[in-house]
Amino acid sequence: MDPKVAFVIACVCALVITSTEAGIPKCCIKTRKKISHRVLMQVERSYVQLNSGACDISALVLYLKGTKSPICVDLKLKTFVDRIPLRVRHRQLKTAL
């Protein structure tokens, strides 16, 4: 096979993979069991990673203010993380009064 043809085929395959998001998924490979309250107060958004898809473990993926890379924590902390915005709003309401 001509090297030019092989190069064109490789470029087309790379383009297809990147444009269809069929690349390697970003999965947590380990989780933290404990995390400080100060870090939890900086959570901007989170989502649950399940082990039923491409990832091997279930985890709660947290994105913090001012950071690009997420933190993976144990899924048992989800109920606590979900309650944080209510606590923060309640605390802000108390200080405003």
pLDDT digits (tens, 9 = 90+) for 27-63: 888 988 888 888 888 888 888 988 887 888 899 999 8
Average pLDDT in the chain: 79
Q: Distance between CA atoms of 33 and 38, rounded to whole angstroms? A: 15
85 found inside a domain: yes
70 found inside a domain: yes
Q: Which domain holds residue 51?
A: 28-96
pTM of the shown model: 0.61
For residue 35, the tally of other CB atoms under 10 A from its CB is 18
Cα–Cα–Cα angle for 25, 48, 78, nearest 5°? 150
Q: How many domains does the chain have?
A: 1
Q: How many CA atoms lie within 13 A of 22 on its CB side?
A: 7
Tokens of 55: 């990832």
21 found inside a domain: no
What is the domain-level CATH number for residue 89? 2.40.50.40
Residue 91: predicted pLDDT: 55
62 found inside a domain: yes
- For residues 64 and 71, is the Cβ–Cβ distance under 8 A? yes
53 found inside a domain: yes
